[in-house]
Amino acid sequence: MVEKPSSGELFGVPYNFERPKLSRMLSSYWQPGEGMLVEKPFGIGYTLNLANWRSWIVLAITGALLWHQQQEEGVGDEAEETEAVEVVVDD
C-alpha cells in the first residue's frame, strides 16, 4: 500500500497534517526573519507571523471591527425592544 505524504504543497498552497508538537507550533507562529504570512503548523494554508509588526496591526484592526460590530448589535437590540410598530393592511 502506498503511504500518502502528510505534508507538502498542492496548487501552491502548503498543507501539513503531521501530529502537532508544541515546539513546532511556537516556532511556526514566531519567525523573525520571515514575512507577515507563514505556513500553518497544522492544516492547510497560511497564518500570521507574530514576529512581524504588520501582523499586530491586522490583529488590532480585526479586534476593533469585532468590538464595533458587537456594540452596534447591542444598540439595535435595545431599539427593537422599546419601539412599537403598527402595521396597517388595506384590502
Predicted structure pTM score: 0.65
As to burial, measured by CB atoms within 10 angstroms (0-12 exposed, 13-18 middle, 19+ buried), residue 49 is buried
Q: What is the mean pLDDT of residues 77-84?
A: 61
Contact 39, 70 (CB under 8 A): no
pLDDT of residue 6: 86
Question: What residue spans define the domains of the chain?
Answer: 7-80
DSSP code, position 42: S
